[in-house]
């Protein structure tokens, strides 16, 4: 069986785009001192920054076929035993097959590894339709702060739902939680709904999700497990699908992520200690990953794709923007954060809503190396890697074919590629 193309997941990670919801909150405020602003500058308005003139890339060029047996259904154990393909932007002949554990021998004091410290929330939920008793499944996307009462943006799998319907969420043991979602309006044709949230205990969203939520594993992992007859407890995935860098939820316009920054899953405290002994420095930034990260590119050309928005901040990692060091982004989310802020002059906003799309022809400003997993066909993540390697998508697909021949494990729980300067 082959796996082709990205799963048909709607663009659910973006803040609402309608005019009445277009304003977005920034703790830093705007020039009017209100704390509200329109999506900032060119990075968040969909314009493409610092592009080298080049032909547009047909989306079909990002297609490839993968045998489902190569989809990783759980991380390598131990984490640093995952395989590592090593290539170089400046040396097209360099190709090594190592392990994540070899990173301390590959990097030195001139390097800074930049990690994403976002926390994955247990964003999947199940419940029952109060009117009919029917089973309902959904996904929390983000809180809606533009409502007078508690409200969420969600994705709900129900074709015939209409405003006014109510869903009572279930706890992990199947009992009623007392949390009721009241459907207000459909916010996209793909199944996104604005819902009011009723909770007698008035708990913050992370506490509610801890009680009722399930790990938001990508559909391709759940599907591969089901077809292979694998049953992994959710409690196990809650631990496996979280990086060691995950910080506390909250503190910004979005509470957390609905997908993991998967390159960070390869690291352990022991590996970090060895990297530190090699002189490698580290920094942490935050990008809260939205469900739009799974949305396949449907436009004819990659550059025409309506890129989803995600919130990011530099925080204590801001020093890397001006550091005379070699920045190695751990994952596409760290890379997207650094490049988004590279287009803003200091002082840089505390939080930035970015829809920066990186593809071949993009002129990189801060990231010089990248550690990244093997990505889905026709995805913006694959387009980013194609924009990072000098040989573009042709080089990426050639390396992916080599990875398949050598039985590398693909996608979120899979192996990785280190792209050195």
94-121 pLDDT tens trace:
999 999 999 999 999 999 999 999 999 9
Confidence band of 42 (pLDDT split at 50, 70, 90)? very low
Cβ-contact 415, 42 below 8 angstroms: no
Q: Is residue 41 scored above 80 in pLDDT?
A: no
- 10 Å Cβ neighbour count for 383? 28
Provide the token pair at 79: 């984490």
HSE, side-chain direction, 13 A CA sphere, residue 119: 16
CATH superfamily of 2-120+241-420: QueA-like (3.40.1780.10)
Where in the chain are the domains?
2-120+241-420, 124-212
Per-residue pLDDT of 232-242, as tens digits, reads 999 999 999 99
Check whether 17 has a pLDDT greater than 50.
no
In the prediction, which pLDDT does 248 show?
65
Q: What is the pLDDT of residue 147?
A: 87
pLDDT tens digits for range 138-161: 999 999 988 888 899 999 987 788
Q: pLDDT band at residue 50, thresholds of 50, 70 and 90? A: low
How many beta carbons lie within 10 A of that of residue 182, not counting itself? Answer: 17
Give the containing element (helix H, strand E) for 212. Answer: helix 205-212
Query: Of the candidates 283, 269, 370, 365, which has an alpha carbon nearest to the alpha carbon of residue 329?
Result: 370
C-alpha separations of 181 from 136, 206, 250 in Å: 11, 16, 21
Average pLDDT over residues 159-171: 92
State residue 51's pLDDT score.
62
Query: Residue 2 pLDDT more than 90?
Result: no
52 pLDDT more than 80: no
pLDDT above 50 (res 129): yes
Q: How many CB atoms lie within 10 A of CB 51?
A: 15
Tokens encoding 222: 């759940």
pLDDT digits (tens, 9 = 90+) for 407-421: 999 999 999 999 999
Tokens 């199944």, residue located:
191
Tokens of 323: 């550091």
Determine contact, residues 13/258, Cβ cutoff 8 Å.
Answer: yes
pLDDT higher than 90, residue 247:
no
Determine the average pLDDT of the residues in 166-188.
94
> Could you give the CA distance from residue 285 to residue 137 in angstroms, rounded to a whole number?
32
pLDDT of residue 385: 99
Q: Which two tokens stand for residue 107?
A: 């990097």
Whole-model pTM: value is 0.86
User: Is 177 in contact with 168 (CB distance < 8 Å)?
Assistant: yes
Which of 130, 135, 121 minimizes the C-alpha distance to 182? 130
Q: Give the relative orientation of helices 380-388 and 392-405 as an angle to the nearest 10 degrees.
A: 110
DSSP string, 103-128: HHHH--TTEEEEEE---B---EEEEE
Which residues, at least 6 apart from 141, have a Cβ–Cβ distance to it below 8 Å? 12, 13, 123, 152, 153, 154, 155, 192, 258, 290, 291
Nearest-5° Cα angle at 48, 353 to 371: 70
Cβ contacts of 315 within 8 Å, gap of 6 or more? 284, 285, 286
Query: Would you give the end-to-end CA distance of the chain in angstroms?
Result: 36
Top-level CATH class of 124-212? mainly beta
User: Phi and psi (nearest 5°) for 268?
Assistant: -130, 160
Alpha carbon separation from 341 to 24, 193, 297, 322, 330 (Å, rounded): 17, 31, 24, 11, 16
Mean pLDDT value across the chain: 87
What is the percentage of the chain residues whose pLDDT exceeds 90? 75
Is residue 233 within 8 Å of residue 217, measured between CB atoms?
no
pLDDT of residue 200: 86
Average pLDDT of span 125-144? 94
The helix, strand and coil proportions of the chain, stated in percent and rounded to the nearest 5, come to 25, 25, 50
Query: By three-state DSSP, how is residue 81 classified?
Result: helix
Smallest CA-to-CA distance from 362 within 51, 121, 94 is with 51
Residue 347: how many CA atoms within 13 Å on its side-chain side? 7
> Beta strand pairing status for 36-37 and 24-25?
antiparallel
Q: What is the pLDDT of residue 21?
A: 32
Residue with token string 């002949």: 93
- CA–chain centroid gap for 329, Å, is 14
Q: How confident is the model at residue 189 (pLDDT cuts 50, 70, 90)?
A: confident
Of 23-37, 62-76, 305-319, where does mean pLDDT reach its minimum? 23-37
For residue 5, pLDDT over 60 is answered with no
Q: Residue 248 class from Cβ within 10 Å (0-12 exposed, 13-18 middle, 19+ buried)?
A: exposed
Determine the Cα–Cα distance for residues 226 and 216; give it in Å rounded to an integer. 15
What backbone torsions phi and psi does residue 118 show, to the nearest 5 degrees? -60, 155
> What pLDDT is recorded for position 193?
95
């Amino acid at each position: 069986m082959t796996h082709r193309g990205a799963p048909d997941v709607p663009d659910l990670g973006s803040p609402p785009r309608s005019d009445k919801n277009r304003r977005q909150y920034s703790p830093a405020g705007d020039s009017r001192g209100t704390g509200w602003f329109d999506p900032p500058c060119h990075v968040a308005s969909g314009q493409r920054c610092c592009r080298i003139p080049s032909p547009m890339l047909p989306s079909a060029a990002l297609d490839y076929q993968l045998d489902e047996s190569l989809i990783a259904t759980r991380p390598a154990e131990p984490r640093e035993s995952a395989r590592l393909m090593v290539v170089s932007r400046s040396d097209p002949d360099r190709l090594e097959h190592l392990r994540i554990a070899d990173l301390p021998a590959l990097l030195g004091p001139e390097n800074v590894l930049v990690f994403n410290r976002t926390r994955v929330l247990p964003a999947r939920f199940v419940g029952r339709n109060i009117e009919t008793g029917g089973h309902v499944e959904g996904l929390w996307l983000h809180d809606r702060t533009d409502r007078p009462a508690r409200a969420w943006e969600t994705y709900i799998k129900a074709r015939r739902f209409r405003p006014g319907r109510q869903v009572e969420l279930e706890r992990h043991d199947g009992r009623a939680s007392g949390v009721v979602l009241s459907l207000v309006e459909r916010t996209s044709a793909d199944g996104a709904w604005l819902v009011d949230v009723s909770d007698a205990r008035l708990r913050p969203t992370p506490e509610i999700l801890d009680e009722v939520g399930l790990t938001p594993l990508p559909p391709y992992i759940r599907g591969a497990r089901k077809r292979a007859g694998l049953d992994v407890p959710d409690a196990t995935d809650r631990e496996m699908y979280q990086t060691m860098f995950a910080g506390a939820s909250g503190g910004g316009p979005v509470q957390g992520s609905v997908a993991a920054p998967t390159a960070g899953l390869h690291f352990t405290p022991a590996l970090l200690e060895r990297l530190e002994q090699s002189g490698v420095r580290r920094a942490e930034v935050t990008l809260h990953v939205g469900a739009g990260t799974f949305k396949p590119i449907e436009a004819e050309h990659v550059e025409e794709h309506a890129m989803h928005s995600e919130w990011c901040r530099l925080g204590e990692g801001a020093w890397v923007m001006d550091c005379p060091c070699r920045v190695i982004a751990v994952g596409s989310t760290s890379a997207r954060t650094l490049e988004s802020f590279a287009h803003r002059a200091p002082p840089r906003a505390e939080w930035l809503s970015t829809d920066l799309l990186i593809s071949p022809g993009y002129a990189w400003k801060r990231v010089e190396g990248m550690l990244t997993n093997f990505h889905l066909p026709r995805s913006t993540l694959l387009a980013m890697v194609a924009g990072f390697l000098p040989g573009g998508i042709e080089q990426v697909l050639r390396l992916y074919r080599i990875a398949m021949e050598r039985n590398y494990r693909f996608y979120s729980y899979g192996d990785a590629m280190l792209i050195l300067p």
